[in-house]
Amino acid sequence: MTDQPFDVERIRKDFPILSRELPGGRSLTYLDSGNSSQKPRQVVEAMREHLEAHYANVGRALHTLGSEATEAYEDARDKVAAFVSAPSRDEIVFTKNASEALNLVAYSFGNPVNTDERFRLGPGDRIVISEMEHHSNIVPWQLLAQRTGAELRWFGVTDEGRLDISGLEELIDERTKIVSIALQSNVLGTINSTSPIVGRAREVGALVALDASQAVPHMPVDVTETGADFIAFTGHKMCGPTGIGVLWARAELLEAMPPFLGGGEMIELVTMESSTYAPAPAKFEAGTPPIVEAVGLGAACDYLSSIGMAAIKRHERELTAYALDALAEVPGLRLIGPRIPIARGATLSFTLKGIHPHDVGQILDDEFGIAVRVGHHCARPLHLRFGIPATTRASLYLYNTTDEIDALVRGLHHVQKVFG
Amino acid sequence: MIAESMYQELILEHYKNPQGKGLREPYDVEVHHVNPTCGDEVTLRVRLAGDKVEDVSYEGQGCSISQAAASVLHELAAGSDVRESLDRVDAFTELMQGRGKVEPDEDVLGDAVAFAGVAKFPARVKCALLSWMAFKDAVARSQG
């Protein structure tokens, strides 16, 4: 499968929305996949088919539809486990999104219900994150620090947009219990090397979490190869639906961790006084889960695998190299992030001298049907680091083409004409 | 195109050549307003003399809409009657929050009618209102 040449035109046909017409007869150039990706027919069809033929609640209904729905839901878990090479399907916990997955991990630290030494957290202990995180990998840790009195520290970011690990040994010290960083930045595109961080964390006995929301959709990710203990990602950025995210964690950690939400399906025995809990992953999936969304995510894994994640990564690297060259030709454009297509993904954030990103985004959409994201992209501290309030971000995916990058560059020249 | 009605020539003119920009002495009150969704900021000072607005000076950063709106505000408010300028703020607020359905009164609003098209873009309405709300706040405080 992965030996086939990468045929972007054929791939585009799988995404009906890409050929829709916008008001005023404009065609669509979708460069906002880092925000949310579009969905191929195969995913939409799998969800429709499930709703029309197999829908019922999972885990408890004994009738035919109930068992078909349960089978479909659990099949999706198998597919996700295989997609990220998880050693066991029971290490895949379905959540609402990546934010919930990260909150679940944070909740298990400094929690009196959790007696495992590795999760003990209080005054004098340390939590380490980085300045390039999405708010969803900052705020849960701030809340944890407030709850427990632990200290929150972070890696800085270099001018080039790389993680600054020069102070690694002092930062991740003996007091550190958890390190949580992005595998790929949602603004800079930077892909962080996990080995020095995991290596140092192991020396001091700290656990490591990765926010892989921007990585799993774009490259082969083998959870054990990263060396991390927890990995969070979300369905809607990888051709799947909204409303479903994933937490992968090593089985023995999931066993030690306390439930996050209490409710149906996560229990073993309940009395009025107390309860015992189901083993993971059910322990972390209280209430009726996003069933159809799981089916959709499973279909998204199948779809991406049929094209091949290595091939998708190659395609995106070619696009990135092309886009970096093309954007460098735009006068007054300042790229925020690595300027070379090495250890970086196809996320390109920039400022245009003297022109506010909101004006850039509005003209690109209005005149050319080009969808980009403008603002701080839920990474305000990173923007403060670079001394700017906001950027314009083009984020590419398997269905994007070099023609679309040319259209972006033409659009930017026009923006400069309007505001110049 | 759709946004053409938003980026009026007059707005772009004010954006490229802002009137009365820069913080000046003397002043009665200084206020600082921000738009948390896009990070636009304005610092604005007013100087009143009896019933007159003697000066409105400002400094800020933001998109063309927010910058041009501050420039137009300065032009209309500086040297005008306090009561009249507050009525104009109310008319401008009504226009901006009218989802494009409010017919602007040029006699009251003057050049500010150029922002009528912005009302059709909910995400941008706050940009246009930022400095006008700051002005209203500053006048209220200096009278308080």
Residue B46: which CATH number? 3.90.1010.10
Place of tokens 């799998």: A46
Beta carbons within 8 Å of A147's beta carbon, 6+ residues apart: A110
Look at residue A316 and tell me whether its pLDDT is greater than 80: yes
SS3 B23: coil
- Parent domain of A144: 46-305
Could you report the per-residue pLDDT of A79-123, keeping only the tens digit for each?
Answer: 999 999 999 999 999 999 999 999 999 999 999 999 999 999 999
Q: Are residues A101 and A232 in the same domain?
A: yes
Final residue of a structural domain among A305, A338, A366? A305
- Parent domain of B60: 1-143
Place of tokens 């829709």: A20
**Contacts with A23 from chain B: Cβ below 8 Å:** 2
Q: How far apart are CA B108 and CA A297, in angstroms?
A: 56
**Contacts with A356 from chain B: Cβ below 8 Å:** 40, 62-64
Q: Are B65 and B118 within 8 A, CB to CB?
A: yes
Instruction: Show the low-confidence residues of chain B (pLDDT under 50).
Output: none
Mutation for A interface: B12, B64, B121, B130, most A CBs within 10 A: B64
As beta bridge partners, residue B36 has none
Q: For residue A293, is it within any domain?
A: yes
CATH code, domain carrying A322: 3.90.1150.10
State residue A322's pLDDT score: 98
Q: Is A378 tagged catalytic?
A: yes
Q: For residue A230, is it within any domain?
A: yes
Q: Are A190 and A134 within 8 A, CB to CB?
A: no
SS3 B56: strand
Q: Which amino acid is at A194?
A: T
Q: Are residues A55 and A85 in the same domain?
A: yes
State residue B1's pLDDT score: 53
Place of tokens 């590795």: A118
**Could you tell me which residues of chain A have a Cβ less than 8 Å from any Cβ in chain B?**
23-24, 355-359, 362-363, 365-367, 375-376, 383, 389-390, 418-419
Q: How far apart are CA A131 and CA A337, in angstroms?
A: 13
**Contacts with B64 from chain A: Cβ below 8 Å:** 355-356, 359, 419
State residue B3's pLDDT score: 60
- A358–B38 C-beta distance less than 8 A: yes
Q: For residue A2, is it within any domain?
A: no
Q: How far apart are CA A214 and CA A236, in angstroms?
A: 11
- The mean pLDDT of A39-62, rounded to a whole number, is 95
CB-side neighbour CA atoms (13 Å) of B62: 29
Could you report the per-residue pLDDT of A192-233, keeping only the tens digit for each?
Answer: 999 999 999 999 999 999 999 999 999 999 999 999 999 999
State residue B2's pLDDT score: 55
State residue A60's pLDDT score: 77
Q: How far apart are CA A261 and CA A93, in angstroms?
A: 13
Distance from CA of A389 to the nearest CA of B (A): 6
Q: Are residues A333 and A237 in the same domain?
A: no
- A362–B6 C-beta distance less than 8 A: yes
State residue A389's pLDDT score: 87
Could you report the per-residue pLDDT of A52-91, keeping only the tens digit for each?
Answer: 999 999 987 789 999 999 999 999 999 999 999 999 999 9
Whether a cis peptide bond, with omega within 30° of 0, leads into A279 is: no
C-alpha distance across the termini of chain B, in Å: 46
Among candidates B7, B61, B65 on the partner chain, residue whose Cβ is nearest the Cβ of A389: B61
Q: Are residues A178 and A270 in the same domain?
A: yes
Q: Are residues A94 and A118 in the same domain?
A: yes
Among candidates B39, B64, B127 on the partner chain, residue whose Cβ is nearest the Cβ of A389: B39
This complex has an ipTM of 0.80
Q: Which two tokens stand for residue A346?
A: 């196809």
Does any CB of chain A come closer than 8 Å to the CB of residue B7?
A: yes
Among candidates A359, A383, A418 on the partner chain, residue whose Cβ is nearest the Cβ of B63: A359
Percentage helix, strand, coil for chain A under 3-state DSSP, each rounded to 5? 40, 20, 40
State residue B100's pLDDT score: 83
pLDDT category of residue A161 using cuts at 50, 70 and 90: very high
State residue A3's pLDDT score: 55
Taking CA–CA distances from A23, the nearest residue in chain B reads: B2
Q: How far apart are CA B13 and CA B79, in angstroms?
A: 21
State residue A413's pLDDT score: 97
- pTM of the full structure: 0.92
Q: For residue A3, is it within any domain?
A: no
User: Pick the catalytic residue: A106, A378, A379, A415?
Assistant: A378
Among candidates A356, A366, A419 on the partner chain, residue whose Cβ is nearest the Cβ of B2: A366
pLDDT category of residue A127 using cuts at 50, 70 and 90: very high
Q: How far apart are CA A170 and CA A186, in angstroms?
A: 26
State residue A72's pLDDT score: 97
* Nearest C-alpha neighbor of A127 from the set A143, A112, A111, A115: A143
Q: Which amino acid is at A12?
A: R
CATH code, domain carrying A241: 3.40.640.10
Q: For residue A40, is it within any domain?
A: no
Final residue of a structural domain among A305, A339, A374? A305
Final residue of a structural domain among A305, A320, A339? A305
Q: Are residues A348 and A385 in the same domain?
A: yes
Exposed e or buried b per residue across A236-273, where buried means at least 16 C-beta atoms within 10 angstroms of its C-beta: bbbbbbbbbbbbbbbeebbebbbbbeeeebbbeeeeee
Q: Are residues A208 and A350 in the same domain?
A: no
Rounded to the nearest 10 degrees, what angle do helices A402-419 and B9-16 cross at?
A: 80
- The mean pLDDT of A365-381, rounded to a whole number, is 93
DSSP state, residue B36: T
Exposed e or buried b per residue across B61-75, where buried means at least 16 C-beta atoms within 10 angstroms of its C-beta: ebbbbbbbbbbbbbb
Taking CA–CA distances from A420, the nearest residue in chain B reads: B16
Q: How far apart are CA A334 and CA A173, in angstroms?
A: 36
- A418–B7 C-beta distance less than 8 A: yes
